[in-house]
Structure formats: structure tokens, C-alpha cells
Structure 1
Amino acid sequence: MWKPCLVLATVTLLLTPGPAAACATCACGDPTLTSMGTEQPFAGRLRLATTMRAWGLTSGATQDTAVSLRELRMDVSAAYVPLSWLTLAATMPLQTRTVREVSLAQEQGWGFGDLEVSARATVFRDRGFAPNHLLSLLAGAELPTARTLKDAQGRPLSLDAQLGSGSVDPFAGLAYTGFQDEWSFLVSATGYLPTRGREDFRGGASLRTTLAAQYQPKARWALRLAVDTRLEGHSDTLGVSEPEGSGFIGFLSPDVLFSPTLDMVLQLGVRVPVLNRLTGYVRQAPILQAAFVYDL
């Protein structure tokens, strides 16, 4: 008697549908390798990323007063899609920074920087599955989570040596993404409006844009080339305008993307300054970047 019952129970268990599981490519219908923040949204998508950046900058009103800054930064990011049209994201940076003056005086600091939170809404897609065209709106803010760094005598380090602004800095933007066979394209513009922070300093309002094209001849790797720009207004302290560092700068940004296994993307690239119209004595070094992205 128990044998037919056992067979019936086994067959019932095998025929009962379980929860579906699919890779990110299957769920969104597009095999394009994407960096963090440019992925196609679908409900339930959870994406984690770690991005390493190394960069340097020498700036001041003149060469004789210029200050040299070097930074190594690791951003830990998470993005979740609770609804098919809404992506929520957060990024926490861990930074180490060195500031050196012409007199060779030096300040060093490390720790967590300012947390960035954002929401991206997809307001247009030409079709629900495997869309060729996406239009998105972005809004968010950088929050003053970085602690105030101090020297051995307990005095706060200079503003250049601090890892955060001490202010709430909102931003908003829009982006278009297109997909066509082996090619994909990105056009985005984001405006930043810093508020007043440490020592009554307020950074200049800025507009940052990206124009990128990506060619993916194989499923596992792709080549990406972008033009990144930043247009920034004057900063000020206590209402006194400080034009140094304001103006326009453009970068040429080549990247290689590689997927060693399903749902994993490695990205290696550089941001090379090719057009510098910043006020004062400003020398921007190339920005080296490596990223690891994983879809859960």
C-alpha cells in the first residue's frame, strides 16, 4: 500500500513548480555587458559593485601656490530594482588622501567618505522585454557621512585633506541608453548643486555629461569609449568667490569589459584629460579605474 503512495508523492513533488531563477541576461533579454549604473532594470534585480580609482591633481591660483593632491578610492555600491521602472542605489567610498603644499608640508587622511544615495526612474522603454531604447531620470544626494579628520594636535585638517564636504549635495539628471546588436550607446547629463559645508565652504554648481559607445563582438568581452565632461562654477567661502578650479574639463575614457563567468563583469579603464579650460593652475593626472560588478 505504501509503494503507490510513495510513487504518487514523488510524482507530485516533481510536477510542483518551484520558484524560477534566471541570470540577469535572461531576465532582461539583453546580453550587453554593462558597468554599474547603466544596467537594464527588471523587478528584483540586485547588483553589487566595487570600484577602485587612483588619481591626482595639482591646483592653485598660480604654480607657486599650487597644492598637490593624491587619492586612492574604493567605492562599494549596491543597486536594487523593487519595481520594473525604479532602481535604488547607494555608494559608500573608502578613501586614502595625501595633500602636499609647495613648502613640502603634508597632510594625510583615510576613512569613509560621503555616502551617495540615488533613485533612477525609467520613464520610457520601447518594449517591456529586451528594449532597444531606454530613457531614465535620476535624482539623489551626497550625504555628509565623512568624519572630520584631525592632526596629532587635534586640529582639523585642511579642506583639501578632508574626505567629505560636510554638506548635503543634491543632484539630478537624465540618461538615454540604446542597444543595437553588438553596439550600445549612452548619453547622460547630471547637474550638481552643492550646499554650504565645512568652514562655510560651498563648491560650485556643476554639469557632468557622458557620451559613450560600446562594441561587444563576443558574449564575454566588450570595448567601450566615452567622452566625459565637467562644467563647474565658482566655489565660495563665507560668500567670497573662489574661481580656482572652476571652468570646463573633458576626458577621453577607454574601457575594456570582460565577463569571466555568468552575472559577473570586470572593467578596466582610464580617464585621460584631453581638454582643460579650468581657471588657475590646474594639472589633472589621468584617472585609473578598475571595477568588479556582480548580479545576484
Structure 2
Amino acid sequence: MKAPLSLLSSLLGAVLALAPVSSAWACATCACGDPTLMSMGTEQPFSGRLRFSSTLRGWGHTVGQDNVDALRLREARMDVAVAYAPLPWLFLSATLPLQAREVRSVSLARERGWGVGDVELTAKAFLYQDRAFSADHLFSVLVGVKLPTAPKLRLEDGTLMDLDTQLGSGSVDPLAGIAYQHFRGSWSFLASATGFLPTRGILGYRAGASVRTTMAAQYQPAERWALRLGLDGRIEAASDIDGEKEENGGGVIGYASPDVLFSPRMDLVVAAGVRVPFFNRLRGRVAPTPIAMLSVAYDL
């Protein structure tokens, strides 16, 4: 029996030696050399990386004065995204939102809308990393565009629903940003800024130009879970309709963003958290709610 077993072992070794090797077949941690659990959009690159994700958010705000002209908006949103790295330094991604929205006025009149929102396409290029494998420092730039893929929602008589009920802006909105990431043992850090320059869209509406920022620190004491704390900010100009500025909106708002990340199995990352508004300097009367978030990301 010894000779057949030896021959079988030799043949098996030869097959494995001749088999094609692709980093895309390996686990994501093995391929990029870093075991840090990362949510969608913050992962380390390697050629052939393919990642799918789904993110659920629940949020809302109230605009205007209570018992006078208050308008309450509530939305549940699921973003379905895919990201692919055709090159070790380039990530291409697409995000499709599915939304359900309700708007209620002070008179208790309601409008509801649901369906597909505006698709966002981005390309992220890593311009610098201190080493190709298990990098400690990453610097990247981002360019993209939001496309008017959401349908125009109408009432039964064919008239368009209010702007607040619409799921998309009806505009083509370019965006660009920069990001820096640092990995140091059980800790990782992120700083990013992304600018948006909306164009005019549905019903003459144009959202104000804005910059969104993130500063976050993450501690990962074990292989399967991590804690993340971020500060998210938004600076935006006032929106307008046919050149007339809206009274409510525009200004500065900041959120405290604690998250828990968990990996129940290889290449699967689940994140849950909340975005709590702690600094509100928006013009007029805008009262945002906390934003609840749950996401799942999987590498193939």
C-alpha cells in the first residue's frame, strides 16, 4: 500500500504545483495582508478583489415650525453596492438605493413614495501606499457621479408629488474626494473629505454644493470583532428652486458615529451603528433624527 500512497501524494503535489494561482481566490485578509475588519468603501485594495454589500438605514428630519408649517420626513433605505478592483490600485463601484419615504405635513396630510433611487458610480484610485502588501499608510482619491435613475413619482391625477417625497433629484451630480488611512497593530484610522456639486433637476430644484467629512478610529482586539468611533460632518450651501433659496437647510451639521463590526465567517463583515447629531448649525428650523445603520459586506 505504501507505493500507491506515495504515487498518489506525488501526483497530488504535481497537480497543486501546476494549478493556476489567483489572489482573487484567496481570502481578502490573505490577499491584502491586513486582518483589519473594514466596512464597504474603506477596504484595502488588491487586484481582482470583488466585494458586495447591502446597507440598511433609517432616518428622518422635521423642517419648519411645529404647529405652523412643520414637514416631517421619514425614510427607510437599502443601498445595494458592488466594488471591483481591476488593478491593485483601482476600485470601481456602483451603488443602487432602494427607498421607502413618507412625508407628513402639519395638516396631517401624507404622501408616500417607494422604489429605486439615484445610482452612484465611483472610481477610487490609491495614489500612495508605503508597501504593496500589508500597507500601513494609504492615500486615495475618489471621483464619481450620481445619475438621475429614480422615476418621477406622481399622484393618481398625474401631477408630480412634492419634492420631499421624490426619491431622486433628477440631476446629474459629480463628486470628488480624498482619503487617508493608517493601520497600526490593533488600531486603524481614517480621514476623508468628499465634495458634491449638484446640478439643477426636477421641478427646478438644485441642492446646495456640499462637503462631507469623516474622521474615525477603530480598535480591533480580536480577529472577529472591532469597535469604531467616527465623527461625520457636512457643510453645505442652501438649496434653491429656480434660483430662490430655501429658508430651511444649508449650514453645518456634525454626527457622532459609533459602530460595532463583526465577522461571523471568513470574508463576511457585519456592521451595526448609529449616527447621532450632536452639532446642528443648519439654517432655519431643521431637526434631524439619529440615523440607524446595519450593513453586510462579502468578498468573493
What does residue range 49-128 of structure 1 map to in structure 2 within 5 Å?
49-60=53-64, 62-63=65-66, 64-128=68-132
Tell me the residue number matched to 1:19: 21
C-alpha separation between the residues in 2 aligned to 1:16 and 1:273? 56
Give the match for residue 260 of structure 1: 264
Is 1:42 the equivalent of 2:52? no
| TM-score (structure 2 length as normaliser) | 0.94
Task: Give deviations 1:81-125, integer Å, cap 9, x for gaps.
Answer: 001111000000000000000111100010000000000000010
2:183 aligned with 1:179, yes or no?
yes
Alpha-carbon distance between aligned partners in 1 of 2:128 and 2:69, rounded to the nearest angstrom:
49
What residue number does 2:134 align with?
130
Aligned amino acid, residue 137 of structure 2: H
Residue 148 of structure 1 corresponds to which residue in structure 2?
152
Q: Quick one: which amino acid aligns to residue 228 of structure 2?
A: R
Q: 1:15 to 1:84 in 2, by over 3 A?
A: closer
In structure 1, what is the equivalent of residue 192 of structure 2? Answer: 188
Deviations along 1:201-256, one digit per CA (max 9) or x if unpaired, are 10000011000000000000000000000011011111112241111100000000
Task: Give me the whole-angstrom Cα distance separating, in 2, the residues matched to 1:10 and 1:128.
Answer: 34
C-alpha separation in 1, matches of 2:256 and 2:16: 55
Aligned length: 291
Q: Deviations over 1:244-272 (max 9, x none)?
A: 11111000000000000000000000000
The percent of aligned pairs where both chains have the same amino acid is 58
CA distance 1:14–1:68, change in 2 (3 Å): closer
| TM-score, normalisation: structure 1 | 0.95
Letter of the 1:100 counterpart = R
Partner residue of 2:281 out of 263, 277, 281: 277
For residue 136 of structure 1, give the secondary structure of its aligned residue in structure 2.
strand
Match of 1:290 in 2: 294
Q: Which runs of 4+ in 1 moved over 2 A?
A: 7-21
Runs of 5+ unmatched residues, structure 1? none
Amino acid in the other structure paired with 1:205: A
Which residue matches 1:237? 241
Residue number in structure 2 paired with 1:28: 32
Deviation at 1:15, TM superposition (A): 4.6
